[in-house]
Structure 1
């Protein structure tokens, strides 16, 4: 058909420009491989300003990178919608619902489902839908979409890594490992499949194996986005930390593999700060902050810049803690007020969903400033961080908030409750020395004779992983 070209998936796009369709296909690759050159989609819109697909994808990219420029591309897409192909119209509707201010998440999900029903090879629409499900805290919906399109994509790169992640979030570790390994064998450069394998190994406390695997893969991360690059190194550092390796190894990863990303001219600083703060909070919960010197203060000074606020709920929570901990109480309070204001502008349905998120933010503010009783009261007697997925964090990222809760229970003498929840946690992941040390402390506080046995267990684990 004249004036129509086929994209990577074989779907029709209304454009006469070869360079436009090449840029669109390059963008697909960047999205699926968590590349750092997603801006290539802007070139597609320049090559053909009338292309609906190029413009709506460009607007989606700009909503996170430079929101003030997005409306122009949305308007351009709308003005040429009548001439667009059925595929472009379906993608337009799905993306537009996603980027509309205070849009309904379930409506956006439904529109993406329709795209994938009619155009099941479009893995970028699947990726968008999975990110949406992640922020909705609905890995079940995410898994359903992957299963829906899998029959026609069994030989495609990236699809098995995309299958693995919702399986991880649903706790189906053996299935997740099978899918991730299949994705890795299909494409050893697939950083998302690598990431999923690491998740499984880490969850199963196979820390040394996880570190060896990820360090072997690390040469393939150079083209990754700032988030994916530093997040994979975050996993490595966390394996060292949970496996009770020398804290110097954790510090080395922090300095040379996470913070060093900031030196790159195309680094996205907020993405680096998310992983850096997430790691520092783990270190501080374990009481190992002296090893890191003034690094938290340096980082807190950077994230005090409001340009980094309100980009990600998860990042906002970590910034709130960091500012409070380093004495920047006024700024931390301003951030909290801003979060509450944003919630007040949401629909009633979304306000209700975000209540747990804002309560966790308030708790992290109190925890940071040393008001432990109030922090514990805000977390509540039955806290479970997995119920806070709406902040946009994986189970592994959320688990640090469980650790904060456990530590507060122990510190404030709620020994019986602490023993109950720590023992339950150890039954799920019995290979984490830190949890055994907390349990040993609880047993000692309550005068239980098993304290010595628990201490020996902790010592044996501490010596097992990185001897």
Structure 2
């Protein structure tokens, strides 16, 4: 029995294996690209390390890819076998239980097992970060915040996970609308842990939600080192920078970042696809010609139509298929979504049913220029879209599509109501998107007034 870098008793066979495990933990906290390498080394040094197998399984499930569920199931089997052959702590068993629940599709139950750990071991940064990650998949900002704030007292100035805890706290504060505190906590966390890309990006979210693109660009300026070491999360930070340029009307800079950073590597990770599709959608809504950039995204998404792991992923695959005019693939994806929603086998299937089906129908209708149907369906999905997962900034593409559909369909009052609600959530401020849409609504009303006031001949 050894103690890990966060002071938690760990059933592992040697100090060498423990060193590799500690490297895994610290890399995971910073979203480091080296995380799987360190975990692989750990399991090579101790093939019977139950906790390592359990965490590996959760890592794979968080990737949201149907073909990786077999790998997660294998990891669960190895973890359970290891726990039978070599007694593990109650804490480690709870990680195994969390993986089992996650694999079975009951994400809230997986979170409960992780929260059981934190109730007894509040200084366990691994359990904190995994609970945070799964709650993020569910769009549970309030839960993220409550989880982090419940354990803050266990993190003294010398706790190795303190900076990463602050990064998670900053993000949860931002997602629950406390922007000033979020920025302060995020900045302080980066002083403690300069490689915490999650905390850095939490502050970027604050600038997005307070409509301060210029301030956001200044914040990211010169801080590339905070995300250069990352896995594909680095593409997401570049995406945030592109959003800031977009808000400032700097479309050439947006497209340059898209080509040189965001899609420099043609990956098929759903998070990378969501970055790309949502950015291209925003550009097109602003009247920007994005050329043939939809094509490679549509090619990848055609191969993901049967995935069904996350509604957040499916909706972005659908955006790619619509952008690339892949009608057969759209039909296949929509059919599979309807089957999953009807089965209700898992928590994700229930989210697929609502808000998933309405959102998907709205996106499909928007792609067909049926803006009335697009608005009706997207508006119907809107109040529960948070459960689809992701952040406010990520889901804003669906908000924009809803508003634009309403304007194009002539539902000016309804679009204005949503636009004002969107502005209210952004510290009551108006970004360039909102300003342009308020202007379009005003023009639409003026045109309508002119038509109705023309005397009959």
Query: Normalising by the residue count of structure 1, what TM-score does the alignment of the two structures yield?
Result: 0.86
Matched with 1:251 is 255
Contact 2:363 2:378 (8 Å CA) reproduced: no
Following superposition, the deviation at residue 346 of structure 1 comes to 2.8
Matched with 1:233 is 238
Q: Superposed, which structure 2 residues align to 1:235-314 within 5 Å?
A: 235-244=240-249, 246-262=250-266, 269-288=269-288, 290=289, 292-306=290-304, 309-314=307-312
Contact 1:38 1:61 (8 Å CA) reproduced: no
Aligned length: 434
Once the two structures are superposed, residues 129-160 of structure 1 have per-residue CA deviations (whole angstroms, 9 ceiling, x without a partner) of 11222233322222111111111114322110
Contact 2:304 2:317 (8 Å CA) reproduced: no
Question: 1: distance between equivalents of 2:378 and 2:35?
Answer: 38
Matched with 1:19 is 16
Gaps in structure 2 of 5+ consecutive residues: 449-457
* C-alpha RMSD of matched pairs (Å): 2.4
Q: Secondary structure at the match of 1:260?
A: coil
Q: Secondary structure at the match of 2:390?
A: coil
Question: 2: distance between equivalents of 1:55 and 1:420?
Answer: 49
1:47 is aligned, of 45, 48, 72, to 45
Matched with 2:110 is 108
Once the two structures are superposed, residues 7-38 of structure 1 have per-residue CA deviations (whole angstroms, 9 ceiling, x without a partner) of 11222222222232122212211221111222
Following superposition, the deviation at residue 408 of structure 1 comes to 1.3
Gaps in structure 1 of 5+ consecutive residues: 450-467
In structure 2, do the counterparts of structure 1 residues 271 and 142 end up closer, same or farther at CA, with 3 Å as the change threshold?
closer
Following superposition, the deviation at residue 183 of structure 1 comes to 0.7
Matched with 1:454 is none
Query: Normalising by the residue count of structure 2, what TM-score does the alignment of the two structures yield?
Result: 0.88
Following superposition, the deviation at residue 195 of structure 1 comes to 0.5
Q: Superposed, which structure 2 residues align to 1:21-420 within 5 Å?
A: 21-39=18-36, 40-63=38-61, 64=63, 66-82=68-84, 83-99=87-103, 101-103=104-106, 105-155=107-157, 156-226=162-232, 228-244=233-249, 246-262=250-266, 269-288=269-288, 290=289, 292-306=290-304, 309-347=307-345, 351-354=349-352, 355-380=354-379, 384=382, 387-420=384-417
Question: 2: distance between equivalents of 1:304 and 1:350?
Answer: 21
Once the two structures are superposed, residues 305-354 of structure 1 have per-residue CA deviations (whole angstroms, 9 ceiling, x without a partner) of 23894354223212212212332111011112122222333348765544
Once the two structures are superposed, residues 382-431 of structure 1 have per-residue CA deviations (whole angstroms, 9 ceiling, x without a partner) of 6636x312222211111111111111111122223233333444454433
Q: Secondary structure at the match of 2:91?
A: helix
Matched with 2:419 is 422
Contact 1:32 1:127 (8 Å CA) reproduced: yes
Contact 2:238 2:262 (8 Å CA) reproduced: yes
Question: 2: distance between equivalents of 1:396 and 1:150?
Answer: 26
Question: 1: distance between equivalents of 2:372 and 2:445?
Answer: 20
Question: 2: distance between equivalents of 1:361 and 1:368?
Answer: 11
